[in-house]
A = this chain, B = another copy of it.
Amino acid sequence: MKPIKVGLLGLGVVGGGTWKVLTANAEEIARRAGRRIEVAAAAVRDLDKARHLVGEGVRLTRDGMDVVRDPEIDIVAELIGGDTVARDWVLEAIRQGKHVVTANKALLAKHGNEIFAEAHRRGVMVAFEAAVAGGIPIIKAMREGLTANRIQWLAGIINGTTNFILSEMRVRGLSFGEALADAQRLGYAEADPTFDIEGVDAAHKLTLLASLAFGIPVQFDKAYVEGISALAQEDIAHAERLGYRIKLLGITKRRPDGIELRVHPTLIPTERLLANVEGAMNAVVVCGDMVGATLYYGQGAGALPTASSVVADLVDVTRLQAADPEHRVPLLAFQPDALADTPILPMSEVESSYYLRLRVHDQPGVLADLARILADGGISIDSMFQEPHGEHDADIIFLSHRAREGAVDKAIAQVQSLPFVKSPVTRLRVEHLS
C-alpha cells in the first residue's frame, strides 16, 4: 500500500515536532495506520534552515498555496498559527479536496463555522486534536468517547502558562508579576504574554469544546473572558485557608435556558483532582448525564506533545478515508499483521522499588546484617525507619531504590533465615510513575 503523503504548512515548534514524531516513530505509526505516513512537501519561511532539518526528500517552498494545490498531497497539516494566511491556505486545501489537520485554535475559534461548512461541502475531514490541550486526546473523547451522553458541563485547565503562574504564586508565595517573570525566563510564557494571561487562548479552546459538547456553532465572540493578571497573592492565600485553590478555568454548562461559556479565575475545592493539576499541565473534566464526571490530563503544550495529537489526527484520517475493513481502526490498535511477539517478562526480571517490613529482636548489629545482605544483592536503600514493638522487638521498614525482583527475593530469603528475624518479611512494590 503506497504511503499517505502529507504537506506541512510550517516547520516551527509544532511543525518541527510533527516532522520529528513522523520520522522517529515511522515504524510504530505504520503498524497502527496500516500504511506509512510521509511528509512530501512543506511551506516554510526559511528554506535553508528547513532543508537542514528535513534533508533532501521533502519538497520545500515559501508559498503554502504550492503545498495545498500539489496533487501528490493527501492531507495538509496547518501548523503556522494565526488567522489570516492560515485561513486562506486551509480553505484552499479544502477546496482542493484535501483533508486538513490543524493545531490552530485561534483560526477555528474565529473562522471555524466557515471552515467546517466548506469541509462538509467538499466531503473532507478537518481534524484539530492538537488545537485543544496539546497532547491530551480530549477532542476524541468529546467527539467519539462520550457520544452516549448529554454533556452537562465541562471545566478545564486549558492554558499551561497561566496554570504555571498560579502554581508559582501559591507554592512560592510570589506576586503575579514575579511569577510571570519566572514563567517568561523559563520559556513557559511568551515575551508578549497577553493572549495567555488574559484568558484569550483558553477562550479559543473553550469555544471549540463547547461546540463539541452541545452541538452548537463556534461562538468565540459570545465567550466571557477574564484573565489572571489582576489576581492578588492574598486571595490565593485566603482561598487556601478556606480549602480552595484558584485555577484559570474554562467552563461551559448546559442550562435550561441556554449555555454558559466563560473563562475566569475560579476557586475549586482542594480535594478535587483538578485542583491538584500543577505547573504547565492541562486537564479537562467533562460531566455527562450517563457517565458522570470523567477527567483527562496531560501536557497541554510543547513541540512533541502537540505533535502527538497532530500525528494522531493524521493516522485517523489515514484510517478513515479508506472504506474497506482493512483500514478501519484495528481491533487491537495495531494492524493484525503487525502484531509483535515480544515476550512477557517473568516477575524475577521485573524492576521496581520495594517496601520491606520485618520484625526483629532488637540487638546490636541487626541493621548492619540486614544492610549487608541487601547491598550484596545490589539493592540500595532509599530510606528506612524503625518502630519499637514491646520491650525487645522492633519493626524495621525499608524503602529500596530500583532493583530486579529476582535479586530482592533472594535477599529476602537470606534475611528470613537470620536468627533475629521474628516475622515473615512483608514485601510491597513501589512505583514512582515518572
Would B258 and A433 count as touching, CB distance under 8 A? no
In the bound complex, CA of A291 to CA of B296 (Å)? 13
Q: Which residue of B258, B271, B297 is within 8 Å of A295 (Cβ)?
A: B297
Task: Please give the distance in Å from A37's CB to the nearest CB on chain B.
Answer: 10
Q: Is there an interface contact between A332 and B116, defined as CB atoms closer than 8 Å?
A: yes
Say whether A143 faces chain B, with CB atoms less than 8 Å apart.
yes
The size class of the interface chain A forms with chain B is 35 or more
A216 CB contact (under 8 Å) in B28, B119, B340:
B340
Question: Contacts A135-B292, A211-B332, A433-B285 known; A25 to B311 CB distance under 8 Å?
Answer: no
Across the interface, do B25 and A148 meet the contact criterion of CB distance under 8 Å?
yes
Pick from B144, B211, B308, B344: contact of A329, CB under 8 Å: B144
Question: Are A339 and B148 CB-contacts (below 8 A) given A290-B21, A304-B290, A433-B272?
Answer: no
Q: Which of A21, A25, A149, A347 has the most CB of B within 10 A?
A: A149
- Residues of chain B with a CB closer than 8 A to A251's CB: 431
A355 touches B267 (CB 8 A): yes
Contacting residues of chain A (327-360) with chain B, CB-CB under 8 angstroms: 328-334, 336, 338-345, 347, 349-351, 353, 355, 357
Please state if A291 and B267 are interface contacts (CB–CB under 8 Å): no
In the bound complex, CA of A290 to CA of B112 (Å) = 28
Taking a contact as CB atoms under 8 Å apart, the answer to whether A116 and B344 are in contact is: no
Whether, in the assembled complex, A413 has its beta carbon less than 8 Å from a beta carbon of chain B, the answer is no
Q: Is the CB of A294 within 8 A of B298?
A: yes
Asked if A299 and B305 sit within 8 Å, CB to CB, the answer is: no
* A209-220 near B? 1/0 per residue, CB < 8 Å: 001111111110
Contacts A295-B295, A340-B215 given; does A430 touch B148 at CB 8 Å = no
Smallest Cβ distance from A323 to chain B, in angstroms?
A: 3
Q: What 1/0 mask marks residues of chain A from 138 to 168 whose CB sits below 8 Å from any chain B CB?
A: 0011111111111000010000000000000
Interchain CB contact under 8 A, B432 and A268: yes
Q: B residues within 8 A CB of A32?
A: 147, 215
Contact B242 A399 (CB under 8 A): yes
**Cα distance, A262 to B405, chains bound together (Å):** 12
Distance (Å) between the CB of A314 and the closest chain B CB? 8
- CB neighbours of A116 from chain B (8 A): 331-332, 336
Quick check: is A63 within 8 A (CB to CB) of the other chain? no
Taking a contact as CB atoms closer than 8 A, the residue among B274, B294, B357 that contacts A433 in the complex is: B274
A260-B345, A320-B328, A334-B215 given; A298·B293 CB < 8 A: yes
Bound together, the chains give a CA A116 to CA B217 distance in angstroms of: 39
Q: Decide: B429 and A242 in contact? CB cutoff 8 A.
A: no
A297 CA to B298 CA, complexed, in Å: 12
Contact A146 B137 (CB under 8 A): yes
Q: Which residues of the other chain, B, contact A215 by a CB distance below 8 angstroms?
A: 31-32, 332-334, 338-340
Determine the chain B residues whose CB is within 8 A of the CB of A343 once the complex forms. Answer: 257-259
Residues on the B chain within 8 Å of A136, using CB: 294
- Of all A-B residue pairs in the complex, the 6 with the closest CB atoms, nearest first, are A137-B145, A323-B323, A215-B334, A148-B311, A294-B298, A123-B325
List, sorted by A's number, 22 A–B pairs whose CB atoms are closer than 8 Å: A25-B290, A112-B332, A116-B336, A126-B331, A129-B145, A136-B294, A142-B333, A146-B308, A147-B316, A148-B310, A148-B312, A214-B342, A215-B340, A224-B347, A232-B426, A234-B357, A242-B399, A255-B351, A259-B343, A292-B298, A294-B298, A320-B328
A interface residue numbers (CB < 8 A to B): 21, 24-25, 28-29, 31-33, 112, 116-117, 119-120, 123-126, 129, 135-137, 140-150, 155, 211-219, 222-224, 232, 234-235, 238-239, 241-242, 244, 246, 249, 251, 255, 257-262, 264-269, 271-274, 276-277, 283, 285, 288-299, 304-305, 307-312, 315-316, 320, 323, 325, 328-334, 336, 338-345, 347, 349-351, 353, 355, 357, 383, 385, 395, 397, 399, 426, 428-434
